Structure 1
Amino acid sequence: MAGPLDGVRIVDLTSNFMGPFGSLLLADLGADIAKVESREGDTTRGVGPCRNRGMSAIFLHLNRNKRSIVLDLKNEQGNTALKRMLAGADVLLYSLRPQAMDRLGLSYARVRELNPRLIYCGAFGFGQNGPYADRPAYDDLIQAAVGMPVLQSRKSGPPEYVATAIADRVVGMALSTAVSTALFQRERTGSGQEIQVPMFETFTQFVLGDHLYGHTFVPSIGESGYARMMNPDRRPYRTSDGYLGVNVYNDEHWRRFFEISGHAEMAQDPRFADIHGRTQHIGLLYEFLAQVLATRSTAEWLELLTEADIPAIEMNTVESLLEDPHLKETGFFFEEDHPSEGALRSMGIPQRWSGDAPEQRYPAPRLGEHSVELLAEYGFGRDEIGNLLAAGAVYTPENLTAR
């Protein structure tokens, strides 16, 4: 086996970041992903540096362990071919708005008739029982809608987005969890079902778990926002020669830190004696940390803090992270020879499994690279595949180039 989801067939209609990250997690666990693309391909094929057009850095990291088939779903024969694939699949993933799926004849009501065991999972902007149901959504929009830029602004000034596609990736993780759970449920019941994973609601839960705060209570007994998270001094601290991440958190951590920094008397200050008091006066403590940590080198502080069992780590850049000794020892980064893109630096699968371990089976695919192979595996004969190619319903790299 090549992972615990070995043998699970997933037809993946998602594109961009959110859906492909969710299907990546399922692919890494062994699921067989048929990545269905248009002739233009997934939008991320053009995002970031590349050696060959359509094989960008972002795409490569989001789409390993998947195979690409190009189908024209607006072509009657292409649409029919997809529906035939769905009859033999375990899961359909999509990130189109449900209204677009309905126009393609791919609503759950229609697809369920083809395959009642199918897990039909959509990840899109907003829950379909509210007034935003028809709206489009992207990571930046969802960050803004949930209030994350405002929370960030309490640290740094004007509202700003987090410097990664955090909403897309969080919702992608939720998608993979939902599909895995639905597959488990199907083993019990024998029936498939529809799952909707809306970005807005999913990311609201993610952010407000920290920041609903005083509004948790009715009536409210305080403001929104976890003060420690939003404090502008919650950041990596400058040492005499670099930066250090330090998380002095519980009572014992603070007692030890006060002692090794030469301020043991602060442990007796009622403002800092327990976590409730420290949370109320966290700004003072962050200022104190900034002043004290600047007095020694990063290496000196790491030795002192490690000996005191206080969580700390040297701050990396992306470049220094590539040389991190822990990641080197675990083999997280590795080089591979991609069939079309040459030498690449890739990231390993983070989990460790004692049995049925996931592994990398396929490099990220060229557009339409597996169209013929996948159709054959889903039961199409040679003549049928030839007719689909001739009709412009299915494309391979060769006939994409020809057109």
Structure 2
Amino acid sequence: MGPLKGIKVVDMTSVLMGPFATQTLGDYGADIIKVESHDGDVTRQIGPTRHPGMGPVFLNTNRNKRSICLDLKKPAGRDAVLRLIAKADVLVYNVRPQAMARLQLGYDVVSKINPRLIYAGVFGFGQDGPYAAKPAYDDLIQGATALPALMAQTGDGVPRYVPNALVDRIVGLTAVGAICASLVDRDRTGRGQRVDIPMFETMASFVMGDHMGGLTYEPPLDKGGYARHLSPDRRPYKTSDGYICVIVYNDKQWTNFFAATGRDDLRTNPKFATFAGRATNIDTVYAELARILETKSTSEWTAILEKADVPVMPMHDLESLLQDPHIVATDFAPVIDHPTEGRIRNMRSSARWSETPVEMTRLAPRLSEHSAEILQEAGFSADEIAALVRDGVTKAVADT
């Protein structure tokens, strides 16, 4: 099932960025073998749990995977993972390349074992710059790519991180695209390759794509920044009883808005009448929009704006989002039965294919749940597997 059916991925990632990428590949049909340490992915411990090691961050980032424990610092553990790699299409890792080299699992080693392998690294920085060996986390990269500075410009002047692992997820999705593109190239050439997906450069492009502004030119025409995004009144608007999300963007929408609100005075105001006028005076425009929207309730504005074909959406919190009528109607986050965790919500893949539909085949695994199964597939005998358990190279699921 899914467009990546038949693709085998050795997933040597942990925390969020790499696991989110490999979960997406698994959602698309790939067979994901998640290699974990004996302690397991640290996200197993994050958030409220019904059972130790099965926290919500882990559950929502590791479906459609099989789990195997291997101690890669032991020769037998390294040999075992090399046997998995020999039969894989893709290896994904998210430690620094220097760490992979210390484990003797660098591309120079594994490409000799499997020349068709796509060797994908998601880590902090491109390897040809002075930051090559630096550690990186979502918060650090947010700061280094100006997101807190932009947040400060739009609020009270205090820099803040976006309250979401934005970098990890954007870079994870970038990795999915890079891996799929590499598989297409391999199908054409028969050769695998190393592909690096650095966090810093990926996010620099992501942020500056909006905010390069006059810095695009040499010499610069201004200090950069997209005025509409940086307007202090670009935010959910207060109504008489709550908040609402509205964007009046093009000329047709503004014409409809003027008619719906009886504001003919704004129709002829040069600051409001044209796209160029609004762009130049965006703070004035958004401030006036904010004043208008405070005059009626959220439900009243929703009805008025939908009738006028002006884009409008509710401002949800985390709980109400799950009850949104569209989310409910599309069954995007159904409650299902996990074999050990009971009733849980499981978000579906957002992508849809007409010929190769994707379906959830596995829920997030217990630590080492599939170790014996995966080792058998790699050619290990029952006695060899028992020896690996005895020697602490792998771990029986009953021990978790």
Sort the TM-score into its range (normalised by shorter chain): over 0.9
Q: Deviations over 1:305-333 (max 9, x none)?
A: 11111100111111111211111111111
SS at match of 2:120: strand
Partner of 2:169: 169
Partner of 1:248: 248
Deviating above 3 A after TM superposition, structure 1's stretches of 4 or more consecutive aligned residues are none
Alignment pair present for 1:214 and 2:209: no
User: Within 2, Cα distance between the matches of 1:343 and 1:88?
Assistant: 35
Deviation at 1:275, TM superposition (A): 2.1
Q: Which amino acid aligns with 1:218?
A: E
User: Within 2, Cα distance between the matches of 1:396 and 1:124?
Assistant: 30
Deviation at 1:177, TM superposition (A): 0.6
Partner of 1:140: 139
Q: Deviations over 1:187-238 (max 9, x none)?
A: 1111100000000000110010001111011111112111111112111111
Partner of 1:230: 230
Deviation at 1:120, TM superposition (A): 0.2
User: Within 2, Cα distance between the matches of 1:253 and 1:222?
Assistant: 30
Q: Deviations over 1:120-154 (max 9, x none)?
A: 00000000000000000000000001111000100
Alignment pair present for 1:288 and 2:288: yes
Deviation at 1:396, TM superposition (A): 2.2
Taking only aligned residues, the RMSD between alpha carbons, in angstroms, comes to 1.0
Partner of 1:149: 148
Q: Which amino acid aligns with 1:290?
A: A
Asked if the contact 1:68/1:365 (under 8 Å) is kept, the reply is yes
Partner of 2:160: 160
1:75-224 pair list within 5 angstroms: 75-156=74-155, 157-224=157-224
Deviation at 1:54, TM superposition (A): 0.8
Partner of 1:6: 5
Alignment pair present for 1:346 and 2:346: yes
Q: Which amino acid aligns with 1:357?
A: P
Deviation at 1:289, TM superposition (A): 1.0
Deviation at 1:262, TM superposition (A): 1.8
Partner of 2:384: 384
SS at match of 1:291: helix
Question: In percent, how many aligned pairs have the same letter?
Answer: 51
Asked if the contact 1:255/1:264 (under 8 Å) is kept, the reply is no
SS at match of 1:394: coil
**How many matched pairs?**
399
Q: Deviations over 1:256-304 (max 9, x none)?
A: 2122222123122222232222122111111111111111111221111
SS at match of 2:334: strand
Asked if the contact 2:33/2:65 (under 8 Å) is kept, the reply is yes
SS at match of 2:119: strand
User: Within 1, Cα distance between the matches of 2:275 and 2:53?
Assistant: 51
Asked if the contact 1:46/1:53 (under 8 Å) is kept, the reply is yes
Higher deviation after alignment, 258-267 or 177-186: 258-267
Q: Which amino acid aligns with 1:303?
A: A
Q: State the TM-score, normalized to the length of structure 1.
A: 0.97
**What are structure 1's unaligned runs of at least 5 residues?**
none
Partner of 2:271: 271
User: Within 1, Cα distance between the matches of 2:177 and 2:360?
Assistant: 20
Asked if the contact 2:271/2:285 (under 8 Å) is kept, the reply is no
Alignment pair present for 1:305 and 2:305: yes
User: Within 1, Cα distance between the matches of 2:206 and 2:378?
Assistant: 38
Q: Which amino acid aligns with 1:245?
A: C
User: Within 2, Cα distance between the matches of 1:271 and 1:322?
Assistant: 39
User: Within 2, Cα distance between the matches of 1:330 and 1:86?
Assistant: 38
Asked if the contact 2:12/2:92 (under 8 Å) is kept, the reply is yes
Q: Deviations over 1:90-111 (max 9, x none)?
A: 0000001000000000010110
